[in-house]
């Protein structure tokens, strides 16, 4: 279990303790989601940019045999 930083005591092991723990974690979740979105945007965006700058990185297109 976690520790309630306002009292220094462990969270109770019931529904109220779980809700209190998740409530205290919400600011960290927001920062994590923002960081993940920014990181993914930079990574996927840079890969797309690299594919356009260097065509050898782009996937090959295979023509079907009709």
- Token code pair at residue 5: 């930083």
Q: What is residue 47's predicted lDDT score, i.e. its pLDDT? A: 93
Q: What is the 3-state secondary structure (H, E, C) of the chain?
A: CCECCCCCCECCCCHHHHHHHHHHHHHHHHHHHHHHHHHHHHHHHHHHHHHHHCHHHCCCCCCCCC
Q: What is residue 56's predicted lDDT score, i.e. its pLDDT? A: 87
**Residue in this structure with the two tokens 């109770």, named with its chain if needed:** 12
pTM of the model: 0.55
Residue 7 CB neighbours (<10 A):
8
Tens digits of residue pLDDT in 1-59 = 688 878 888 988 999 998 998 898 898 998 999 999 999 999 999 999 999 999 888 88
């Amino acid at each position: 279990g976690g520790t309630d930083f306002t009292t220094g005591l462990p969270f109770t092991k019931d529904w109220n303790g779980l809700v209190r723990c998740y409530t205290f974690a919400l600011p960290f979740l927001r920062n994590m989601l923002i960081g993940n979105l920014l990181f993914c945007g930079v990574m996927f965006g840079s890969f797309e940019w690299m594919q356009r700058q260097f065509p050898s990185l782009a996937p090959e297109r295979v023509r079907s045999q009709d």
